[in-house]
Chain A
């Protein structure tokens, strides 16, 4: 019953600062402008069998998913340090509701980014990518799954790591490889051999691959979709266990 109030609470946190809200709008705008507009001209040769814009759009959506997952999960760590989490735990609501409320706001924020990207694609890049309502809907579902995946992955880390310096170190160690040792900017096949195994254990690679299948109107790699779903479920379960033990 109080769940929608928790969601509203999270929404207030998001909307309280217009700068934070603006960031959620600017992130996709800037990333898309820089990569689709500037880099597509530099990388004139086709990449991975597609044109670069068609190649990079799923990657940008993956980046939006990840940044929103990070944005919504990391404050849990700050909340633990400031006592805010203890306060939340003492509310007459279930702990699962606290996490779900955060997930929903992450999805709302991520949806804004998604809509901006789709709008820009339809306005400026329709000659490179054909978007149908069906493909937009499918892409949105994958985008939401991606947001949940990264929210859960970071949530798992936030809940498991006790020390702040360890937390900062691990976030930094993970964040960069998640982006650069994946197929966001370039196909895995074109990576140096030493990085390929890392790219293959990076869930971002599988998420982007599924989105790329949808954008390119190719048959979806269901194995990749399965891997993304399994990583999501496992990270939720591990994160949930760790979340309940945060004060132990």
Chain B
């Protein structure tokens, strides 16, 4: 089920396009990461999706409700942590969460109960009477998450939720999000951290200068962006006759030879790999090493962002 469907969103500030025909979807149970550098248009996109900012053109549907036609109903279906979102410093932790719950639940009693449940779930019950200014950055983020999750909505939207946190606090936040996702909730998360995107997101949309430059499942992106899959090093340089022979084993495999190193690209199954290795052995080559080439999201990101 599609929870969020944004189509051709465009937003300009004066003569600069902040977001340019951006489309994305979040399906049920998915964690979608919106990844891009500073000024790429991530926060503007989030603000348009969450009805904070009107789009110049394009449409957004949340759980089937068009945000321009039914904004209040659409807003009932998501909960947000804004960028740099702090807490209300006039309220203690309990009331920070409770005031959010109040607008989501029919009665004050239900809201109170949901608040207590959220405090329990994030193991911050002992902070209930403390004020945000008394908490560490990591604890504040936990309270923010409690404030987010107190809303019983299908879609959670987080704008850079772990910026400025230490690695331990980050991982605690990730674990909480993953636990919630495991129970069927969906997320749209913006981040500049590729580590975070790789650890958390089932799908990723890379944006640059307001445009989507790449999108898909995290695993798919990593697979598709690989230039080659295996690197084989032999005891001596490979002749052209061997290269021609290898090319006939599977036409989907690409082969680059450089002296005694062979780079195999494309979709390589185990069967094809064994055939290739056997071929080398038949022609008297000794295999010095064989390694699977891994690609990280950072490699993909750098390639995308540096490519003009």
Contact = CB atoms under 8 A, between A and B. Distances in A.
Given A16-B91, A84-B88, A247 B102 contact: no
Secondary structure dominating the interface of B:
loop
Contacts of B75: 90-92
Contacts of A91: 75, 103
Contact of A82 (B76, B79, B89, B104): B89
Nearest to A93: B103
B271 interface: no
Contact of B52 (A2, A6, A247): A247
Contacts of A17: 90
Contacts of A22: none
Interface in B93-129: 95, 98-100, 102-104
Contacts of B95: 12, 16
Interface residues of A, number: 24
B5 interface: no
Contacts of B99: 9, 12
A248 B103 CA distance: 26
Most buried by A among B50, B76, B89, B104: B89
Contacts, number: 76
Most buried by A among B52, B72, B85: B52
Contacts of B92: 16
A92 B91 contact: no
A140 B234 CA distance: 94
B192 to A, nearest CB: 17
Interface in A87-128: 87, 89-94
B260 interface: no
Contact of B84 (A8, A83, A89): A83
Given A16-B95, A89-B51, A247-B47, A94 B103 contact: no
A89 B102 contact: no
B190 to A, nearest CB: 13
Q: Categorize the interface residue count of chain B.
A: 20 to 34
A94 B84 CA distance: 23
B90 A13 contact: yes
B61 to A, nearest CB: 16
Interface in B66-92: 72-73, 75-76, 78-92
B102 A92 contact: no
Given A12-B95, A16-B91, A84 B86 contact: yes
B86 A86 contact: no
A87 B82 contact: yes
B51 A90 contact: yes
Given A13-B91, A90-B51, A5 B84 contact: no
Contact of B82 (A5, A8, A83, A92): A83
Contacts of A89: 50-52
Contacts of B83: 83, 86
A90 B50 contact: yes
A106 B53 CA distance: 27
A82 B78 contact: no
A24 to B, nearest CB: 14
Interface string A1-23: 01001101100110011001000
A75 B92 CA distance: 17
Nearest to B83: A83
B76 to A, nearest CB: 4
Return the 5 tightest CB-CB contacts between A and B, nearest first.
Answer: A83-B85, A86-B82, A83-B82, A92-B75, A82-B86
Contacts of A16: 90-92, 95
Nearest to A13: B90
Contacts of A94: 72
Given A87-B82, A92-B76, A248 B91 contact: no
Contacts of B91: 12-13, 16
Contacts of B73: 92
